[in-house]
């Protein structure tokens, strides 16, 4: 079986100074491709470097909703430059987040929001629309982040031309009832090891509502640590805190297959076909 990580942040400093060392480790664990998502102007160069260096990496560039208030006046031009100069690049991680607006200033700083604090939802929405316009013009696959903003995100997608390549709702945390309309709007869904937390048990019914031809799996490394039994590659950051590694995907997917009520080989087959259809074929996969 081989696996394709629909969403991670290999460029994140918590994965160490030479994050490309994770790529062969992940490959040995059955991970044949990964989409590495940028979040802000300052991490786009590292995402591009990793993509050019590692043939199994497909890059995505975008302004994450947490980073919107830290954007420079020239952010859009820079984004276009990264999209233009990197083969196979998609748009991501972009989206809407109301959860972050409920966090304390200290917590926001810890999460890397920036000194100005999180941008209000209206501003997040403006920046998202601008980025979706770019994806429409260029026919790019889009990766969306959404926390506690499912209504506004659906209104945004309903109210604009359909994205030509569709979009991925990463680490899907919406409702089972919402799935059919998302599918009609062009959505794919990826599930992460977060769904394996015992307190998320009720979420299994939501995951089973996702059509097989729209289902992908992800690590969201270095975030979304699964419970210890689903960690094949324990790792820590420079401060000794546990981090999720891209190499955990195969083990996480085994757990997700149980949750979804299908054999792992079937999940591998569907998630590979969906990943390749949505993101394209990485240089390493023939």
Catalog residues that contact Zn ion under the rule CB under 5 A: 93
**Separation of alpha carbons 184 and 273, rounded Å:** 19
In angstroms, give the least distance from the CB of 101 to Zn ion: 18
In angstroms, give the least distance from the CB of 218 to Zn ion: 8
**Separation of alpha carbons 186 and 247, rounded Å:** 29
**Separation of alpha carbons 268 and 220, rounded Å:** 18
54 vs 144 by CB, closer to Zn ion: 144
41 vs 93 by CB, closer to Zn ion: 93
Q: Judge contact between 161 and 133, C-beta under 8 A.
A: no
**Residues whose CB falls within 8 Å of the CB of residue 139, separated by 6 or more in sequence, listed in order:** 164, 165
**Residues whose CB falls within 8 Å of the CB of residue 79, separated by 6 or more in sequence, listed in order:** 44, 61, 62, 63, 131, 134
5 vs 93 by CB, closer to Zn ion: 93
**Separation of alpha carbons 246 and 233, rounded Å:** 9
48 vs 145 by CB, closer to Zn ion: 145
In angstroms, give the least distance from the CB of 112 to Zn ion: 12
In angstroms, give the least distance from the CB of 256 to Zn ion: 17
Residue facing Zn ion at closest CB distance? 93
In angstroms, give the least distance from the CB of 9 to Zn ion: 6
111 vs 205 by CB, closer to Zn ion: 111
């Amino acid at each position: 079986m081989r696996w394709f990580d629909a969403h991670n942040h290999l460029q994140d400093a918590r994965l160490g100074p030479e994050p490309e060392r994770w790529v062969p480790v992940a490959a040995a664990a059955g991970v044949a491709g990964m989409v590495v998502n940028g979040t802000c102007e300052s991490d786009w160069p590292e995402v591009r470097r990793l993509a050019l260096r590692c043939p199994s990496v497909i890059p995505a560039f975008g302004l994450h909703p947490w980073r919107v208030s830290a954007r420079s006046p020239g952010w859009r031009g820079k984004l276009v430059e990264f999209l233009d100069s990197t083969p196979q690049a998609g748009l991501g991680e972009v989206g809407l987040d109301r959860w972050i607006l409920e966090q304390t200033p200290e917590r926001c700083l810890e999460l890397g929001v920036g000194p100005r604090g999180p941008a209000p939802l209206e501003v997040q929405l403006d920046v998202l629309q601008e980025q979706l316009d770019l994806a429409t013009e260029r026919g790019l696959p889009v990766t969306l982040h959404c926390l506690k903003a499912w209504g506004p995100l659906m209104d945004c997608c309903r109210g604009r031309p359909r994205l030509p390549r569709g979009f991925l709702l990463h680490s899907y945390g919406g409702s089972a009832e919402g799935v059919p309309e998302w599918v009609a709007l062009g959505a794919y869904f990826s599930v992460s090891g977060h769904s394996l937390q015992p307190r998320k048990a009720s979420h299994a019914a939501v995951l089973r509502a996702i059509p097989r031809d729209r289902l992908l799996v992800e690590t969201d490394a270095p975030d979304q640590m699964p419970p210890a039994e689903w960690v094949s590659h324990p790792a820590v950051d420079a401060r000794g805190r546990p981090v999720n590694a891209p190499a955990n995907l195969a083990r996480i997917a085994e757990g997700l297959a149980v949750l979804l009520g299908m054999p792992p080989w079937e999940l591998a087959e569907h998630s590979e076909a969906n990943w390749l259809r949505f993101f394209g074929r990485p240089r390493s996969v023939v």
